[in-house]
Each structure stands twice: as C-alpha cells, then as structure tokens.
C-alpha cells in the first residue's frame, strides 16, 4: 500500500471521565475513500474535530504528508490541504456561489490582506473558482446567493469550496445528510470521482452510499476503532455485527 497521506496514531481525547476518543489509529492512503462509521455518539465528530484542529487531542499523533500537524491551529492545517465539509451545510449565506468559492480559493492562496483591488476582478481568484464551481456541477448558478440555493445545491457548493482548497485530503462529515434519493445518487457519483483529486475520509450514516463508495471502512464504537477492513470484511465481522450493524439492521 502507498504511503498514507493522513496517519493517525494513538489519538485520545477525554471530556472529564468520558473517553470520547480512545487510542484511535487510522490511515488514509492516496486514491481511497475510507469510510468512518459507527452508532450515534461513537465519537466520529469529535475525531474529525481533532483532525482538523478544532479540538486539541490529549495524546497521540496526527501526521499529514509525513509532517506532524498536531500543534498547528485549524487555519494552518486547512492551508496545508486538509479540506473539510460540515455535518450541517456551512456556507456564507449572504455571499453568492462565486463569492463563496472565491473566498475558499483566497484561503488556500493565503493572501487576505489586500484592501483596494476588487476580489471579483482578480483572475487569480475568479478563474479557479469558476472551474471548481463547474466541477461540482453548479455551472450557471455563480451569481445566486447561497441562501437561495436548494439543499442539494448547497451540498455541491460545499464540495466546490473543498475542491478550491486544492486539498491533499478531504474530510467529509455526513455529506448525504438530508438529501433525497436523487440528490444522494448524484452526490455519490461526484464523490466517486473526487477520490481521484485526493483521498476522502468519509463520515456517513447512509449505508448504501458507504457500501457503494468505500474502499475501506473503519468502525468506531465508544471512541475506539473496533475494526478496519474492506466492505466485505466489515460485513462479515462478528464484532461489528453485534456492536453496530446488528442492532441497526
């Protein structure tokens, strides 16, 4: 297997007596979609927050492209190419689609302290932004305020913004949440292509999507990873069935 882009070793985080993350180890290798599943309250969101730097971990290491990033703050990790989407659609509602994605390009390029030139007259921002908007399937919607987008379109806008960060890895937190069947199918196709850009750590409840997309699956229960393997291995795993799939299906 290729060298992992994201390598997590022994990551732990407690809130008082509660071990939200318990010695978690996880790899994300180039070209894969690695799904992270687990019952509600298993600590998936807490884990994502530690990886992106929103929460500080208590112990363990997070290496990204061979570099330890555990001490960097969230913006610094984002600029290294760790792109993240949110559980609940998270965009700038008053901005147009183009402004949203242009801001993402700007974040990646690292230069926000320019005061006089119009941002939307800046080809260095607008050209990549339009490219990513088209890539995410939102062509023709550039001038629409994000607040006026449909739910599915807003999900696509998030993908466009994640793409604009020119990521080395995507962390997608329940991208299918709240989507209808048609929207889920479209998004599944987009995500399947996306793994060519960069590997994806996918947190998702929609098992159809997970089984359709994932190259590998890790199962998180009570803050611990109880199994990692291919789709078939996970389906066959007895622990997983009793801890998770059993009670669900």
Partner 1 sequence: MLRESWINAVLLAALVAVPLWALAAGEPFVITLATKVAIFALAGVGLNLALGLGGLISFGHAAFFGLGGYVAGILAWHEANAMPVTTLPFTIEGTNEMLAIWPVAMLVAGLAAALIGALSLRTSGVYFIMVTLAFAQMLYYFAISWPAYGGEDGLSFYVRNTFPGANTFDPIQFFAICLVLLAGALALSWAIRRSRFGLALMGARQNAQRVVSLGIRPFGIRLTAFVISGMITGLAGALYADLNRFVSPQMLSWHMSGEIMIFVILGGVGRLYGPIAGAGLFILLEHLLGGVSEYWQALLGLLLLVVVLFARGGLIGVLSKEARDG
Binding site for partner 1 (CB under 8 A): 52, 54, 73-76, 78-79, 83-84, 86, 90-95, 99, 102-104, 106-108, 110-120, 122, 125, 145, 161, 165
| CB 213, min distance to partner 1, A | 22
Residue 74 or 231 with smaller CB distance to partner 1: 74
| CB 211, min distance to partner 1, A | 28
| CB 223, min distance to partner 1, A | 23
Alpha carbon distance 124, 145 (integer Å)? 22
- With beta carbons less than 8 A apart as the criterion, state whether 47 and 222 touch: no
Residue 5 or 52 with smaller CB distance to partner 1: 52
Residue 28 or 162 with smaller CB distance to partner 1: 162
Residue 80 or 227 with smaller CB distance to partner 1: 80
Residue 28 or 240 with smaller CB distance to partner 1: 28
**What's the start-to-end Cα distance of the chain, in Å?**
32
Residue 80 or 231 with smaller CB distance to partner 1: 80
As given in the structure block, the two tokens for residue 234 are 């996970």
150: helix, strand or coil: coil
33: helix, strand or coil: strand
Alpha carbon distance 143, 96 (integer Å)? 5
| CB 104, min distance to partner 1, A | 5
| CB 30, min distance to partner 1, A | 22
- With beta carbons less than 8 A apart as the criterion, state whether 94 and 147 touch: yes
As given in the structure block, the two tokens for residue 161 are 């913004």
Alpha carbon distance 41, 86 (integer Å)? 17
Residue 6 or 217 with smaller CB distance to partner 1: 6
216: helix, strand or coil: strand
- With beta carbons less than 8 A apart as the criterion, state whether 64 and 77 touch: yes
Alpha carbon distance 87, 102 (integer Å)? 22
- With beta carbons less than 8 A apart as the criterion, state whether 155 and 187 touch: yes
- With beta carbons less than 8 A apart as the criterion, state whether 52 and 15 touch: no
| CB 27, min distance to partner 1, A | 22
| CB 241, min distance to partner 1, A | 35
């Amino acid at each position: 297997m290729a060298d992992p882009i994201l390598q997590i070793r022994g990551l732990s985080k407690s809130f008082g007596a509660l071990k939200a993350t318990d010695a978690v180890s996880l790899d994300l290798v180039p070209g894969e979609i690695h799904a992270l599943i687990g019952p509600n309250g298993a600590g998936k969101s807490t884990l994502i927050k530690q990886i992106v730097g929103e929460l500080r971990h208590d112990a363990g290491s997070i290496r990204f492209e061979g570099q330890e990033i555990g001490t960097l703050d969230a913006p610094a990790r984002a600029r290294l190419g760790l792109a993240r989407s949110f559980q609940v659609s998270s965009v700038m509602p008053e901005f147009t689609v183009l402004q949203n994605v242009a801001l993402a390009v700007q974040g990646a390029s690292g230069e926000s302290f320019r005061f006089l030139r119009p941002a939307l007259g800046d080809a260095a921002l607008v050209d990549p932004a339009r490219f990513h908007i088209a890539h995410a399937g939102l062509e023709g919607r550039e001038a629409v305020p994000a607040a006026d987008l449909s739910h599915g379109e807003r999900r696509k806008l998030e993908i466009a913004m994640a793409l604009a960060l020119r990521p080395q890895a995507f962390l997608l937190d329940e991208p299918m949440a709240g989507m209808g069947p048609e929207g889920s199918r479209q998004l599944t196709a987009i995500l399947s292509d996306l793994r060519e850009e960069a590997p994806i750590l996918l947190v998702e409840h929609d098992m159809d999507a997970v089984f359709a997309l994932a190259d590998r699956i890790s199962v998180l229960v009570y803050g611990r990873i109880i199994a990692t393997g291919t789709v078939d291995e996970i389906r066959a795993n007895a622990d997983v069935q009793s801890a998770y799939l059993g009670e669900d299906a």
